[in-house]
Amino acid sequence: MNNMRNKILSLLVLLLTAATGAWADEATVYTTQVSTATLKVGDILADGFSLTGGEKDNIILDGGRYKMDDILQSHQSDILRVSHLSYKNHSFAYSIGGFYVFTPIDKKGLDGNAWVVTKINTNTETGLDIYLSGFNTIEVTPGATAGTWTFEMPAYDVEIAPIYAPAAKWATDGNMVLTPAAIEGIFAGTTDAIIKAGTVATGQGTAMYFATTDAKMTAEKAATADGWLSILPTAAGYDDATTVYVWYYIKGADTPDGQEATDKNTFNDSEICTTPIKVEVLSNKFDIAFKAANANTIEAGKATVTVGGAAATVTEGKLEGVKMGSEVKMTAKDGYKFRKVEVKKGAGKTITIGDVELTYADGDTWETIVSKNSDKIKTRAGGYIVQVAQPAPNKYKYLNVWYTKVNPSDIIDPSKKYQWGDLEVNY
């Protein structure tokens, strides 16, 4: 991913040697509107610029460094009133006493593509006189590979002045940034998405996701990993309870075909999230309890059981760890038949803490137990597990063992003395 981290809207390579000698360190390249009062000697007026100024401000073109209507003006200098100028690409159009177009010529006599400020005079009667010479920036062309630009290096120093596209952003709803979020209660082995999609600002790009079980993965490693997809990660690749970490970023939109790149239609990739989304995928294995109405039990040999076509042994009336979606078949022994078979949802194990009864399974983390009992308990900032019901707007009952808080990653131990303590928060 991120093989094009910096898309460039335009790229200008400027000679560091102009008509007046070395280009001043403080020189500025202008490709948008600029006031004549802002200009300094050495400044460059390149493609896309235009000028504003006082009513009496003038542009004076240095002889031999410009053309008028495509004819080289070798000896004379033209004085152009700023207020009468219009602009096309890097050229002036002058519309008083006629209509003339002035284009730049560099010091080698070649057609230029910019102007350099060579001198500035101030006169209280006439305003500013800005002297300009034709100038040549080096031609830079986009490469065939996205994000690459090329130019031929001349026999002098150059300076590169790229204009980068903005980074793509997530959409917002009021003060809320609509980034991706975890989905709770998803079972392993299903095609259900494990996160809710983030919403990218209109036209700025596509959300990308990378799911891993590596808790030590960093953003730097994730950036170079294989497996980034624009579709939401699902639980399909997991065979049991699994903690999944989902990294995400926005792949910035490329310039649409046939359009010129602007900051409205071209965007760089966003940064990868600093912290991945942590998702607890639930186990897809469950226990089956066989309860016969008489002594003719499966364990007594009166019937057999297969799971997914393979023979299964019932022990103490139970099959443990049967994968969700497996075919479970009971076959009566010759001479016997089932009078009636009922299948009911098992209640699972429960633990009562104070006046709150919670459902759990052996080996569950408290984060998993929260997802099974989301109507009664939840997690909040600081890793506290608290009751949903609050005794007061700024108070909670939090889960602890002898006043040491229970963490979401802790595994339930029914032998421990779980209790509820008071937790006060500030809003």
Averaged confidence pLDDT in the chain = 86
Contact between 321 and 361 under an 8 Å Cβ cutoff? The reply is no
Q: Which residue is associated with the tokens 């493609």? A: 47
Distance between CA 371 and CA 282 in Å, rounded?
A: 9
Residue 4 has which token pair?
A: 């094009």
How distant, in Å, are the alpha carbons of 95, 241, 365, 366, 368 from that of 411? 83, 13, 4, 6, 9
Q: How confident is the model at residue 396 (pLDDT cuts 50, 70, 90)?
A: very high
User: How far is residue 417's CA from residue 424's CA, in Å, rounded to a whole number?
Assistant: 22
Q: What are the tens digits of pLDDT across the range 325-360? A: 899 999 999 999 988 888 877 666 889 999 999 988
pLDDT at residue 13, rounded to an integer: 62
pLDDT bin (cut points 50, 70, 90) of residue 5 is: low
Local confidence band at 197 (pLDDT 50, 70, 90 cut-offs): very high
Q: How far apart are CA 358 and CA 373, in angstroms?
A: 6
Burial class (CB in 10 A: 0-12, 13-18, 19+), 230: exposed
Q: Which amino acid is it at 174? A: G
Find how far residue 189's CA is from the centre of its chain: 28
Residue ranges per structural domain of the chain: 8-162, 165-283, 285-332, 349-424
DSSP characters over 84-122: GEEEETTEEEE-SSS-EEEEEB-TTS-B-SEEEEEEEEE
Q: In DSSP terms, which residues pair with 322 in a beta bridge? A: 286
Q: Give the pLDDT confidence score for residue 177 in this predicted structure.
A: 94
> If pLDDT is split at 50, 70 and 90, which confidence band does 2 have?
very low
Reported as a pLDDT band with limits 50, 70 and 90, residue 22 is very low
SS3 content of the chain, % helix, strand, coil (to 5): 5, 45, 50
Contact predicate 401/414, CB 8 Å:
no
How many secondary structure helices (H) and strands (E) does the chain include? 2, 38
| Backbone angles phi and psi of 187, in degrees to 5 | -90, 145
pLDDT of residue 354: 93
The model's confidence at residue 426, banded by pLDDT at 50, 70 and 90, is: confident
Q: Which two tokens stand for residue 307?
A: 């799971």
- Kindly indicate the confidence band of residue 155, based on its pLDDT and cuts at 50, 70 and 90: low
User: Who's near 57: CB < 8 A, 6+ residues apart?
Assistant: 36, 81, 82, 83, 127, 128, 129, 130
